[in-house]
Amino acid sequence: MKPCLFLLLLGVVWADIFPGDDYKFHHHTAEELKQVLDETHAECPDITHIYSQGKSTNGEDLWVIEITDNPGQHESGEPEFKYIGNMHGNEVVGREILLVLIPYLCKMYKSGDPEIKHLIDETRIHIMPSMNPDGYKKGYEKVIVEGNKDDWLTGRRNANNVDLNRNFPDLNRYLKAYKRTDFSRIHGKNHHISAAIKDIGHELEAETKAVIEWLQEYSFVLSANLHGGDLVANYPFDSSYNDKTEYQASPDDEVFRDLASAYSEAHLKMSDPNRKLCDGDLGPVFEDGITNGAAWYPLRGGMQDYNYLHTNCFEITLELGCTKFPEASDLKGYWEDNKPALIKYIQMSHIGIKGRVTDLYGDGIEHAVIDVDGITHYITTATDGDYWRLLSANEDGSPRHYTVTASAPNYYSEKKICTVYADTEATSCDFTLERNNELPMKGVSDEEMEALKRELENFI
């Protein structure tokens, strides 16, 4: 048998049997969570890197594992992706399925599975299984140790009794206050900073600060925040401008609907119109398994809105099931339901357009602005001038043409038509800007970035 065919067949076998009948699904302690990361790194040292993104209120590490072909470095042209689990400590399904996804990706890559190998080679994946280890510990003691399986609240909040998904700066209120349809985002070298962040009206928790710093350090393109309590993919905006429960569309509403649908349709149950509702006949019915956050129930200070308004990152919130802290014996079913969707959603970081913004000498221009006509939300380039702009093709699957402008301080802007296709990865659309030192353009200077960076560092 040819080696490549053997590896392909081996990948199919792994896909069918992993994690295997001998794998014992259970609720992991903090020590066991770290052990999963360590064992995965030991098995796949060339494609993994483990780091702590900070500490919880009680001093627990917020562990992250990076999975990519060149861990520890940003590769030009390669999007950065993240999964965050267990933001609410008593919502544990996300935590547990991520702890299966991590070794799954390792083993599938080693087996030569072409889909997973391409995904890892072309994407820098970061996975934080637990953002709220202190809350999880409380919930674990109540549900597992004490056996109180009907407790739906213990552990939701962090050690300071703060709901972390209400603790982020509420940047939506600036949109409302200034009656604008976009938000002035200022992005710097490894820092995505807004002067408005220092006027938030409440204290940031340790876990919230850690994630904010994470967003500044990495040029994330796409993210999902894994929750529990219902079965739906929730997309921005969560915050309601008029405090009413009604649809609040972001400038990228179409893209967010496509992202949410990608997960719900790949999930084995989420988009099923005949599935049993979590709250019986009184529960909300989510068409196609997706919902706008504010149309379901509005909230302020949420993480997904903060990602979108403060950085280049598009984030949705995934509610993974009716039961927040299910029996360990049910975890295998949750993994099987979510496995194809978890992979599909990472692949969505490759939709739209990508490219580099360079000067006439081919040097990348950092902080350049990528502006799409008709969408009042721009993104900026990373260190090497590379960018990724998530965009949708036409609803019928036909290509869509976008008018895109690249600009930077002291450069003439350049405008191009960039085409997005439904069934291919992001289309390359590069820009070359000619310098003009007398022409102020939309963008951010290095001096402004350093000043704003100092402001945020002093605030945090």
Question: How confident is the model over 31-40, as pLDDT tens digits?
Answer: 999 999 999 9
Asked which of 69-78, 156-165, 433-442 is least confident by mean pLDDT, the reply is 433-442
Return d(Cα 436, Cα 433) in angstroms, integer. Answer: 9
Asked which of 82-86, 184-188, 231-235, 419-423 is least confident by mean pLDDT, the reply is 184-188
DSSP run (H or E) holding 97: helix 93-111
Catalytic residue among 60, 78, 207, 319: 319
| pLDDT for the residue numbered 276 | 86
Please state the φ and ψ torsions of residue 379, each to the nearest 5 degrees.
Answer: -125, 170
pLDDT, average across residues 63-91: 97
| pLDDT for the residue numbered 202 | 77
pLDDT, average across residues 35-50: 98
Average per-residue pLDDT for the chain: 88
Whether the predicted pLDDT of 186 surpasses 50: no
pLDDT tier, 439 (very low <50, low <70, confident <90, very high otherwise): low
- CA angle at residue 72 from 406 to 363, to 5 degrees? 30
pLDDT, average across residues 63-92: 97
| pLDDT for the residue numbered 457 | 59
Q: What are 249's two structure tokens?
A: 């569309």
Whether the predicted pLDDT of 259 surpasses 70: yes
pLDDT tier, 150 (very low <50, low <70, confident <90, very high otherwise): confident
pLDDT, average across residues 135-141: 97
| pLDDT for the residue numbered 14 | 43
| pLDDT for the residue numbered 152 | 79
Asked which of 41-55, 116-130, 198-212, 254-268 is least confident by mean pLDDT, the reply is 198-212
Return d(Cα 17, Cα 53) in angstroms, integer. Answer: 33
Asked which of 181-190, 234-243, 376-385 is least confident by mean pLDDT, the reply is 181-190
Asked which of 118-122, 173-177, 211-215, 355-359 is least confident by mean pLDDT, the reply is 173-177
Residue 280 CB partners (closer than 8 Å, separation 6+): none
Please state the φ and ψ torsions of residue 192, each to the nearest 5 degrees.
Answer: -115, 100
Beta strands in 245-352 (DSSP E): 290-292, 314-320
Task: Check if 80 is active-site.
Answer: no
Long-range CB contact pairs, 100-105, < 8 A, 24+: 100/19, 100/25, 100/335, 101/127, 101/339, 101/342, 102/36, 102/37, 102/40, 102/65, 102/67, 102/127, 102/129, 103/18, 103/19, 103/36, 103/39, 103/40, 103/43, 104/18, 104/19, 104/339, 105/67
| pLDDT for the residue numbered 250 | 92
Return d(Cα 215, Cα 389) in angstroms, integer. Answer: 17
**Which amino acid appears at position 285 of this protein?**
V
What is each CA distance from 338 to 97, 212, 318, 333, 350, in whole angstroms? Answer: 8, 27, 11, 9, 20
Residue pointed to by tokens 């794998």: 23
Whether the predicted pLDDT of 204 surpasses 70: yes
pLDDT, average across residues 103-109: 97
Whether the predicted pLDDT of 79 surpasses 90: yes
pLDDT, tens digit, 9 for 90 and up, residues 4-35: 443 344 444 444 556 766 678 999 999 999 99
Give 432's strand partners. 358
| pLDDT for the residue numbered 173 | 65
Q: Select from 184, 230, 264, 145 the least CA-distant residue to 444.
A: 184
First to last CA, the chain: 59
**Which amino acid appears at position 354 of this protein?**
K
Please state the φ and ψ torsions of residue 91, each to the nearest 5 degrees.
Answer: -105, 95
| pLDDT for the residue numbered 445 | 56
| pLDDT for the residue numbered 8 | 41
